[in-house]
Amino acid sequence: MRRIFALVRTAGFLAVLCVSLATTAISMGVWAVSLTAQVTTMTASAAATAIAHRKAIAAAVVRAKAKARLRRAMVVLPVAGMAAAVAFERQDYLDGKSSTRIETLRIMAAKSAPHPQR
């Protein structure tokens, strides 16, 4: 009777062990597939963002080159060139002044933001 009880107890233990190991293996497999899908999605998103940034930078470069060509063309004409040069310089000054103002406001906002209590 003791041998049968020991055999049943051992078989039960082995059955519980096998079921728990199988459950763990299946859950780890599902987890790995889920993480793989997330990585794939994030990689595709990063690639799309990089392409969009490249296009935006290229467009900005094209605009800057066109603006420089226009300036050179306008400066060639004597009277209109002087007026254009003054207008372009004034516009650059105002652009720099507004960007400096915005940066100053950002710095002031960062300094005046409440700091977290320690």
59 vs 67: CA distance, rounded Å: 12
Q: Distance of alpha carbon 22 from its chain centroid, rounded?
A: 39
What is the per-residue pLDDT across 12-24, written as a single tens digit (0 to 9) for each?
999 999 999 999 9
pLDDT tens for 64-88 read 888 887 777 766 666 677 777 778 8
Report the percentage of the chain scoring pLDDT > 90. 30
